[in-house]
A and B are shown apart, each in its own frame.
Chain A
Amino acid sequence: EADIYQTPRYLVIGTGKKITLECSQTMGHDKMYWYQQDPGMELHLIHYSYGVNSTEKGDLSSESTVSRIRTEHFPLTLESARPSHTSQYLCASSGPNLAKNIQYFGAGTRLSVL
């Protein structure tokens, strides 16, 4: 069982609001990731981090931003939410063993922007 937690699980907000999706892991993993997933579709990487103070944009362009001030915490922020941001956001982490790069996922945050 992976120790990675996302809050909130569900969020319904109005257009223009600023939101932060939380992600924390207690496994001491150096690498963390954010994916966006529409229902029944594949996962698209939007941000990742190799460690503290490291953040990179993923393969799918996103208006969100991330920070990595602490190893265990990797929050994602949307400054001004829009209906096009409606989706599921999944956080994952992986350890230093690159021979077996298993990413462990949180339960996700399902975001609806009205």
Chain B
Amino acid sequence: GESVGLHLPTLSVQEGDNSIINCAYSNSASDYFIWYKQESGKGPQFIIDIRSNMDKRQGQRVTVLLNKTVKHLSLQIAATQPGDSAVYFCAERGINNQGGKLIFGQGTELSVKP
């Protein structure tokens, strides 16, 4: 079945360094991917999305890379700040869409050391 998983459950980086959070997905037919950030005690917050016809998309300090050959998604955060500390989830939408349902991965906890 479909599944989205993250390689590492935790990631610790030094403030100012770049962070890379990885995600593997199993459904090669998925056409849309989203990264969410969830801070403690809050709901997930949209960060950036990418469609399957793209391999890279940039936002403010964030970049998402999509490698459809190996079914891999990554989120890069430039100049990581303490406020970036959170759990990050990737999510995919299957090609059949089914009303916009998303499948979420396990999550990676990012910890930023000052």
Is chain B a partner of chain A in the same complex? yes
By a beta-carbon cutoff of 8 Å, the part of chain A in contact with chain B is 6, 31, 33, 35, 40-45, 48, 50, 56, 58-59, 90, 92, 94, 98-108
One of B44, B45, B102 near A101 (C-beta < 8 A): B102
Report whether B43 and A106 are in contact in the complex, using a CB–CB cutoff of 8 Å. Answer: yes
Interface size on B, residues (CB 8 A): 25
Please name all residues of chain B whose beta carbon is closer than 8 Å to the beta carbon of A102 when the two chains form the complex: 34, 46, 49
Please name all residues of chain B whose beta carbon is closer than 8 Å to the beta carbon of A48 when the two chains form the complex: 99, 101
Q: How far is the CB of B40 from chain A (nearest CB, A)?
A: 10
Cα–Cα distance between A96 and B45 once the two chains are bound (Å): 19
Is B104 positioned at the interface, with any CB of A under 8 Å from its CB? yes
Q: How far is the CB of A9 from chain B (nearest CB, A)?
A: 9
Cα–Cα distance between A92 and B87 once the two chains are bound (Å): 18
Please name all residues of chain B whose beta carbon is closer than 8 Å to the beta carbon of A106 when the two chains form the complex: 43
Task: Please give me the residue from chain B that is nearest to A43 by CB atom.
Answer: B104
| Total A-B contacts with CB atoms under 8 angstroms apart | 62
Report whether B43 and A107 are in contact in the complex, using a CB–CB cutoff of 8 Å. Answer: yes
Report whether A101 and B106 are in contact in the complex, using a CB–CB cutoff of 8 Å. Answer: no
Report whether B93 and A108 are in contact in the complex, using a CB–CB cutoff of 8 Å. Answer: no
Cα–Cα distance between A90 and B38 once the two chains are bound (Å): 12
Is B97 positioned at the interface, with any CB of A under 8 Å from its CB? yes
Please name all residues of chain A whose beta carbon is closer than 8 Å to the beta carbon of B107 when the two chains form the complex: 40-42
Cα–Cα distance between A102 and B93 once the two chains are bound (Å): 10
Task: Please provide the chain B residues from 31 to 55 with a CB less than 8 Å away from any CB of chain A in the complex.
Answer: 32, 34, 36, 41-46, 49, 51
Mark each residue of chain B from 7 to 37: 1 if its CB lies under 8 Å from any CB of chain A, else 0. 0000000000000000000000000101010
**Which 5 residue pairs across A and B have the least CB separation, nearest first?**
A105-B43, A101-B100, A43-B104, A42-B104, A105-B44
Task: Please give me the residue from chain A that is nearest to B32 by CB atom.
Answer: A101
Task: Please give me the residue from chain B that is nearest to A44 by CB atom.
Answer: B104
Please name all residues of chain B whose beta carbon is closer than 8 Å to the beta carbon of A35 when the two chains form the complex: 104
Task: Please provide the chain B residues from 71 to 114 with a CB less than 8 Å away from any CB of chain A in the complex.
Answer: 87, 89, 93, 97, 99-107, 109
Report whether A42 and B106 are in contact in the complex, using a CB–CB cutoff of 8 Å. Answer: yes
Cα–Cα distance between A90 and B41 once the two chains are bound (Å): 11
Cα–Cα distance between A41 and B107 once the two chains are bound (Å): 7
